[in-house]
Amino acid sequence: MGECSFTEIIAMSTAAQRPGGELVAAKERSAVVKAPLKDGVPQYDKVKPPKFFGLVKVSYAFCSTELPAFVFYSDGKFFAHVLDVGDTGGVAGFNTDSHLLYWAICHKKILREADLTSEELAKQAQELGYHKVKEAEKGQYRFNSRRKMMQFFGL
């Protein structure tokens, strides 16, 4: 609470593809900015983007209506967040940033956290062919290698 996170995508490229989906690699940098306080309440509308971002890291988005996911690397493992894209009630906690980055990488659409629960975005997702996916119930999947992660997506 009291912070805003910013992510800058520097470059994107297709890492692998198959009918029904494409794994896009994104080089990104992030930063967190504290919101100024007024009477002890964070003033998020007063937050300005940071001047400096962190180190470049690579993450992935599996752009697909059948198995949409955001994948990141941490502590020697790959973690995939399988997403119910457009589900206005399913965006919370650990997968919020995953949804934001998925939309940015797969649809070149920059969103704010509040946009993720809007009916307008849900309608756009439905028009694009998104629907609830069984794998999103578990939410997060862990893979010990890049090869295992790729196999999960049928690549």
Residue numbers in the chain where pLDDT is lower than 70: 1, 88-90
Structure tokens at 138: 């578990």
Q: Shortest CA distance to 112 belongs to which of 99, 125, 122?
A: 99
Q: What is the pLDDT of residue 11?
A: 95
**What is the DSSP code (8-state) at residue 69?**
E
Q: Which domain holds residue 127?
A: 3-152
| Distance separating alpha carbons of residues 149 and 7, to the nearest angstrom | 23
Q: Cβ of 25: how many Cβ atoms within 10 Å?
A: 16
Read off the pLDDT of residues 106-137 as tens digits, 9 standing for 90 and up.
999 988 888 888 899 999 999 999 998 889 88
| Distance separating alpha carbons of residues 24 and 26, to the nearest angstrom | 6
| Distance separating alpha carbons of residues 118 and 125, to the nearest angstrom | 11
Which stretch of DSSP H or E encloses residue 60? strand 57-63
**pTM of the predicted structure, to 2 decimals:** 0.86
* Structural domains counted in the chain: 1
Spell out the residues 6+ positions from residue 10 whose beta carbon is closer than 8 angstroms to its own: 27, 28, 29, 56
Contact between residue 155 and residue 16 where contact means Cβ atoms under 8 Å apart: yes
Contact between residue 8 and residue 28 where contact means Cβ atoms under 8 Å apart: yes
Q: Identify residue 120 by its one-letter amino acid code.
A: E
